Amino acid sequence: MKVAVVGVTGLVGTVMCEVLENRGFPVTSFLPVASARSVGKEVQFRGKTYRVVGLEEAVGEAPDIALFSAGGSVSKEWAPRFAEVGTTVIDNSSAWRMEPDKKLIVPEVNAAELTSTDKIIANPNCSTIQMVVALSPLHRAFDIRRLVISTYQSFTGTGMQAVKQYNLERKGYQPQEEEMAYHYPIFENCLPQCDVFLDNDYTKEEMKLVHETRKILGDQSIRITATAVRVPVHGGHSETVNVEFARPYEIARVRELLAATPGLIVLDNPARHEYPMPLFAKNRDEVFVGRIRRDESADNSLNLWIVADNLRKGAATNAVQIAEYLLANKLLDRRKATA
């Protein structure tokens, strides 16, 4: 199995390599790929040293799988070129997520949609991934009508520059303007802006939660509103999710459904102060859910607190799990993509 990691020197690319190792994915030939400025650098994978290659060279190698985490513009240009030589691309950017002919996949939710003809597969947004893992079984049981979401997102989701800004501020230094990932300090601060503002005054991140959730759950009628906040947390993303169902539910049944969901850990014991936190989720592949309680202000409504490591399940792990599903179900077709 020849596997390329595109964007290998970035934050998510680095974690993709770790996840491939941790999960024992059968990589027989490893291709670390990055932009021209990183070509020639060395990276470690399974105890061996590899030289980073450029995109053109990597396409020439025609890998079986290419895990992309190199930004939307790179994905738009290069993912089709990899697909043309028979590579299956799993892309972590937002470039393909809302394309009607591209699958947006969270394996625990909708992997069954995949076929051998899917040559470019979209990995959803980190906040969306962890939320739909918890919401999918509840939607099937009780029919979700409305979601009110507030996110508390780690600065690591912004990338290396945000980590640098945070570390400088933590040490008491004022970063230079060119070192700032945000308009304001992130250390000991919360920023009610994730990504850029759109014409409707929501951010791009907030609207990803709207559009991607509907696509993954296969229901365009769900009403969704979101507020996304960047927080000075290193370990992962947290979300409060208020859910309104079309049908009545019992808390016991909600807990039962969540406990039976693959990849989901219920951590919810108020009497013992047990609930999910980024501290517990860091470096874990599972999604954690807790603070499960009825919303007493509205009919058929529920409150959830959902936490996951945004670099693992929110990005790298989900991508590798897609690759695992393709391999296990013999869906890695080496034929070249057709126009």
Please, are residues 277 and 254 in contact by the beta-carbon 8 Å criterion? Answer: no
Concatenated DSSP letters of 108-142: HHHGGG--TT--EEEPPPHHHHHHHHHHHHHHHHH
Please, are residues 205 and 194 in contact by the beta-carbon 8 Å criterion? Answer: yes
For residues 163 and 26, give the distance between their C-alpha atoms in angstroms, rounded to a whole number.
Answer: 31
The helix/strand/coil state of 46 is coil
The helix/strand/coil state of 100 is coil
Please, are residues 239 and 149 in contact by the beta-carbon 8 Å criterion? Answer: yes
Q: Is 237 a known active-site residue?
A: yes
* Catalytic pick among 183, 234, 237, 273: 237
Tell me how far apart the 2 most distant CA atoms of the chain are, in Å. 60
User: Residue 46 region, left (φ>0) first, then alpha (ψ -120 to 50), else beta?
Assistant: left
Question: Which letter does DSSP use for residue 1 in this model?
Answer: -
* Catalytic pick among 126, 183, 194, 273: 126
Q: Is 183 a known active-site residue?
A: no
Burial (0-12, 13-18, 19+ Cβ within 10 Å), 199? exposed
Residues forming the active site: 126, 237
